[in-house]
Amino acid sequence: MRSKLKFKEFYQKYQKRLQLSFLSKEVGLDNIIQISTQSTDSYEAVDYLNVIRPSSVVIIGHQESKYLIELDRTQLVELLTALFSGPVSTMILSRASKLLPQLVKLSNQFNIPLLQSEQDDAELLNNTRYYLSLALADHKLEHGVFVEVFSLGVFIRGESGIGKSELALALISRGHRLIADDVTEFSRVSPDKVDGHSPGILTDFLEIRGLGIVNIRAMFGSNSLKPNKTLRLIIEMVHFNGENNNKFDRLGSTKQNRNILGLDFPQYSIPVAPGRNLAVLVEAATRSHLLEMNGYNASDDFIERQRKAIRESSEKK
């Protein structure tokens, strides 16, 4: 479900980044910033002033300010009254905008926070869009460990106690980086991109059975951690036994996928058994996926070699 963000949370989180200050009274703190999902009244989270299809956060740049100044008082009041009666939750003026007293008065009257930014028009719009795209993205919590291996975001999943955190520790000791342990929060930040990060309290920490909680930053340094990463590959750890011996694809020609937030991601199932070097296997899986991203598939290559050998053998007979 799409997230909603209260204005006071938006202001507290992004006030310094967007260089914001109040022009109106501190009203409308509980106003909701969101994106409409209704086809009949669709609106964006943030955009320049648009009377026909207003956004939840309205940016007043130089041109918008010039347009408002040219209106007579009656026209200005009618426009702002209609605007503030819709989905608008807050209005932000860029550094180049001129302030109208009537704008402040109506903002206070309709409980619409009016802010001033020290950023220019395009910078303010682009930055606000970026921050809100992250804050309002669809999100989901998944149990597992999220690591960066060879620059790719790799999500390691499996049943409790199978050794996910131990595998992550082995990867970190080999120079890879931890993003999240135990629980990973994924957010769909664009139509074709899912981003993962630690939900908070477990950031920097791994829980290792027999050792307890270990601080990765203190043990390996800050370079062993990464705050977030785009998801590219999923590794599923599966207990290896006689019953599931035939369930693993020996050629790798049949790809498994797992859906997270509406997007499919390739998934390798790695059998867990004594003596198997899982860290090396995850590295190999990641390298194999990197090759596939660049157009090379080892199983297709091997199958083609077999076909060629069979064809050559038949021609000799």
- Note if the pTM is more than 0.95: no
Judge whether 143 counts as a catalytic residue: yes
Give the chain's domains with CATH numbers.
5-135 (3.40.1390.20), 138-303 (3.40.50.300)
Judge whether 197 counts as a catalytic residue: no
Q: Which of 16, 73, 209, 250 is catalytic?
A: 250
Judge whether 308 counts as a catalytic residue: no
Rounded to 5 degrees, what angle do the CA atoms 88, 114, 20 make? 115
DSSP 116-142: EESS-HHHHHHHHHHHHHHHTSEEEEE
Average pLDDT, integer, range 248-268: 80
Confidence of residue 51 (pLDDT cuts 50, 70, 90): confident
Residue 135 has pLDDT above 90, yes or no: no
Angstrom distance (rounded) from CA 269 to CA 211: 27
pLDDT per position as a tens digit, 195-204? 999 987 888 9
Structure tokens at 277: 């070097």
| CA 1 to mean position of chain CA atoms | 14
**221 Cβ neighbours under 8 A, 6+ residues apart:** none
Neighbours of 236 (CB within 10 A): 17
Average pLDDT, integer, range 138-146: 91
Q: Which of 139, 182, 195, 197 is catalytic?
A: 182
Dihedral pair phi/psi, residue 274, rounded to 5°: -55, 135
More confident residue, 190 or 285: 285
Confidence of residue 1 (pLDDT cuts 50, 70, 90): very low
pLDDT per position as a tens digit, 178-219? 999 989 999 888 888 999 999 878 889 898 888 889 999 999
Judge whether 120 counts as a catalytic residue: no
pLDDT per position as a tens digit, 6-38? 999 999 999 999 999 999 999 999 999 887 655
